[in-house]
Amino acid sequence: MTVGPAPSPKGSSPQPKVLLLDLDDTLYRNHKVPAIVKERIQAYMVQKLGIPAEEVAAKTLELYLGHGTTLAGLVASGHKIDYHDWHEFVHHGALNYEELLQPDPSLRDILMSIDLPKYILTNADKEHAERCLARMGLSDCFQGMFYFENVMELAAANGFDTAHAVLCKPNPRIYTLVCEVLGVSPSEVLFFDDSTRNVAGAHGLGARTVLVGADKPCPGADLAIPTMHHLPAAMPQLMDTPGLVHEASHHSSQSQSGAGGLPDAVGAAAGPSGSGTAISVPA
């Protein structure tokens, strides 16, 4: 059951032009995934960074709370991390995607019934995001993705010190850069995430936010839903009959079926109308 009023279509905020959605623990929930990832992060810290085993649990929590992700905290603390090696160790080499995730045709129908451009915004890397979406059968539900690699490229192009820091949620800068790429203001974005601090970060910039995986809204969340499957009942105004966005998504999936993944959201984002017009990354 959803709790809390949906953002009012008659309020002062404009209607959303773009949906921005987190991936892990938002589009799917399997308690085994975060447990495995946490275990692998701590193993990486011991095996590859030489942090004493008895310290990693507390250190992981400290870095996560202080920097958004443990990876961001490690980099800010001066550790030199091979990012590809990190993601391979923590995600690709540890998760059995075929076993942990399942196709979700019900969620696919919901997403395809929303006639607005939809984008993924995840702190994870591209390969993890693509493998999750492919396994769930959701790849062609989105017009593009923002993930670790292209967010870092976008950050570097806009003066962020990526040599010594990682840009990730809930840093407000990530939301402003994403909005610039998509050609919308934060108030025109409807953002979904399972993290209270992530939704609060976006809400602070004016975005309307949905906390997924909760029975009641937290400060900074306009709405709470237990799972994405509750969205039609919570926000029926989003549901529509198939239209241009769906057709564009269908043709895109056909034309890119051999490419093995979703379009990169940076540099080739669909505009708020879903037209697919290229938007250059701000210098």
Say which residue the tokens 């998760």 belong to: 95
CATH 3.40.50.1000 domain locations along the chain: 14-28+103-238
Mean pLDDT, residues 38-59 taken together: 97
What pTM was estimated for this model as a whole? 0.84
- pLDDT, tens digit (0-9, with 9 covering 90-100), for 195-229: 999 999 999 999 999 999 999 999 999 999 999 99
What pLDDT is attached to residue 55? 97
What pLDDT is attached to residue 243? 38
CATH 1.10.150.450 domain locations along the chain: 31-100
Q: Which fold has domain 14-28+103-238?
A: Rossmann fold (3.40.50)
| Confidence at 256, pLDDT banded by 50, 70, 90 | very low
Q: 160, 138 in Cβ contact below 8 A?
A: no
What pLDDT is attached to residue 262? 55
**Is the peptide bond prior to 117 cis by the omega test (within 30 degrees of 0)?**
no
- pLDDT, tens digit (0-9, with 9 covering 90-100), for 137-169: 999 999 999 999 999 999 999 999 999 999 999
What are the beta bridge partners of residue 264? 145
For the chain, what percent of residues have pLDDT higher than 90?
A: 78
> What is the rounded distance in angstroms from the CA atom of residue 39 to the CA atom of residue 134?
24
Mean pLDDT, residues 124-134 taken together: 98
User: Does the domain spanning 31-100 belong to CATH 3.30.420.40?
Assistant: no
What pLDDT is attached to residue 267? 55
Show Cβ contacts of residue 1 under 8 Å, excluding neighbours closer than 6 positions: 215, 226, 230
In sequence order, which ranges of 68-147 are alpha helices (DSSP H)? Answer: 70-76, 83-87, 97-100, 105-112, 126-136
